[in-house]
Amino acid sequence: MDFGRPQEGERVRLRMRNLYILPTRFGWLWLAGTVLLQVVGIQMQSNGPLLLSFLMLSLFLLALHLTHFNLQGVELWCGSPTPGFADGPLPYPIHLRCPGRSEGVRLRLGREAAGPALALAAGEHELILCWTPPGRGLHRPGVLQVQTTAPLGLFCCWSRWRPAASQLVYPARRAGPVRLLASATGPLAGESVVISPREGSEDWRDLAPHRPQDSPSRLAWKLLAQGRGEYSKHFRDLPEAAPLLAPDPALPLEEALEHLSERIWRFHGQGEGYGLEIPGQSLPAARGVGHRDQCLAALACCR
């Protein structure tokens, strides 16, 4: 059952106007058996087949209402989907509020296969459905179909709704070459500069009054010779220059972005700092979860 106009909007409530119901194959077979018993009973003028046909017809009509009531009044809305990578299925949160117990509820998101039948008690439920994005960028997962055939399997009742929340999809992670640009030597974003002595170096950054425990090699002899007093040199340890990642110009853009996605994920896992230079956007060197997500989001939206 794949027809029925999908509903739009952030929330949808299932009712008479957006619920559809038709007999299943088993339901059509049941109905055909009912008609056959009617014909046999009339032709043979026998009450047994007629009574059985009326009983089957009564169950058929009762199942119509019971199946419809399984979804009547159910309310659907989507949560806040977390970003993910295009190299696998992504979780998408769906919330349901059931006015009563709903049996045999199955949900299908996009082109994915329908999930297992669920028995939902009255109240609110959060379900995680998986879908496969077509690629990187900001995407909506497609149409959500909710259906049930309970309790007898004679009818299929369903509705279709298009969730409004989009999900950010990062490029797939694929190991490969990236372009490494020179990054200016200096502290990473959010990091302080550490002052530490480096004996015998001329790369000093500050002066302080000389203390007896200071090494003579740190003494500012030039100032001492000028009669300006005894001062010790203090040196600044600058961290190594973090690499600035950029797409490899020899590769197609999509493939280069996938290599950058893998390299960013690997650098983050190793605790290394890095920056990003892509067309239209430049991110300075830093590290941490926030920086990682910012870089991956920039790759996802790169044009």
Query: Same domain for 184 and 216?
Result: no
Model pLDDT, residue 303? 84
- Name the average pLDDT for the chain: 85
CA count, 13 A, side-chain hemisphere, 262? 13
pLDDT per residue as tens digits for the range 3-57: 567 888 889 999 998 999 999 999 999 999 999 999 999 999 889 999 999 999 9
Considering the domain architecture, whether residues 155 and 290 belong to the same structural domain is answered as no
Regarding whether 161 and 20 lie in a shared domain, the answer is yes
The confidence score (pLDDT) of residue 280 equals 86
> Residues 15, 97: one domain?
yes
What predicted TM-score, i.e. pTM, was given to this entire model?
0.72
One-character DSSP codes across the chain: ---SPPB-SSEEE--TTT-EEEE-HHHHHHHHHHHHHHHHHHHHT-HHHHHHHHHHHHHHHHHHHHHHHHHTT-EEEE--PPPEETTS-EEEEEEEEESS-EEEEEEEETTSPP---EEE-SEEEEEEEEE--SSSEEE----EEEEE-TTTSSEEEEEEE-----EEEEPP------EEE---SSPPTT-PPEE---TT-S-EEEEEE--TTS-GGGB-HHHHHTTS--EEEEEEEPPPPPPEEE--TTS-HHHHHHHHHHHHHHHHHTT--EEEEETTEEEEEE-SHHHHHHHHHHHHT--
pLDDT at 225: 73
State the residue range of the domain holding 286: 179-189+242-300
Q: Do residues 267 and 119 both lie within one domain?
A: no
Do 22 and 130 belong to one domain?
Answer: yes
231 with 284, same domain? no
Number of domains composing the chain = 3
Same domain, 264 and 165: no
Looking at the structure, tell me whether residues 183 and 215 fall in a common domain. Answer: no
Say if residue 10 is in the same domain as residue 134.
yes
Residues 5 and 134 occupy one common structural domain = yes
Q: Does one domain contain both 3 and 72?
A: yes
Binned at pLDDT 50, 70 and 90, residue 207 comes out as low
